[in-house]
Amino acid sequence: MSPRSVLIVAMYFFRESIFISGSRFHCFDIHTLPSWSSGPKRKRRRFVPRMQWRRAPGEFCYDGPPGRAMTETREVYRKLGSTGLRCHMLGFGCYRIAAGDEVHEAALVSYLERGGNLIDTSANYGDGLSETLVGQVLAGRERGKVLVVTKGGYIQGQNMELARRRNFPETVYYGEGIWHSIHPDFLETQVERSLERMRLGKIDVYLLHNPEYFLTEK
């Protein structure tokens, strides 16, 4: 089976819209077209996946008819472990978004307006500009309806300047211009800065970003 066939089969069994970050946003839906083929003894049903591309600049792509909220097609909220929180099964990843980009802002706004409530970002994404955009979009919205996940651990950009001044313990020198630390002294500064950038009073979920760097060093 060719790689393309494997991709089409995978998309057929996991029929979720695909969201591609960049200057423009695209999505496609997988549909099945029933057809019949004659065998030597009996007829068997054959499903043929078909991709339909729909261009939607600045819009969030989801598995459902255009114009409908993501919550109308199925039960999409799930328990988040044992936290008691419930989150949308499709989160919004903020790795490549940044404050000052209208397309990025429109995509996040559209996600929230269509029923999404899980935002995943990090202190080092865009050197803090990702969290800044999250704060701008959440300003004026009902805080209890959105779950914010962020992370700490990487030392780059502004954090590099901070680390050179503070000399945090247990710092791992991962590469040129990239250090790493999950020491409480460093993480305390990251939580404070994340709260300030996102204009929040609390962070719903906080993750250690790639802690294996520290463990490998040890």
97-152 confidence digits (pLDDT tens): 999 999 999 999 999 999 999 999 999 999 999 999 999 999 989 999 999 999 99
pTM summary value: 0.67
26 pLDDT above the threshold of 70: no
DSSP 81: T
- Stretch (H or E) spanning 132: helix 129-138
168 Cβ contact partners less than 8 Å away, ≥ 6 residues apart: 181, 183, 185, 186
3-state DSSP helix/strand/coil percent for the chain, to nearest 5? 35, 25, 40
Partners of 120 in the β-ladder: 93, 149
Distance of alpha carbon 83 from alpha carbon 198, whole angstroms: 22
Tally the C-alpha atoms within 13 A of residue 179's C-alpha that lie toward its C-beta.
20
Domains and CATH numbers, the chain: 1-57 (no CATH), 65-217 (3.20.20.100)
94 pLDDT above the threshold of 80: yes
Summarize the confidence of residues 85-89 as an average pLDDT: 93
Q: What is the pLDDT of residue 75?
A: 76
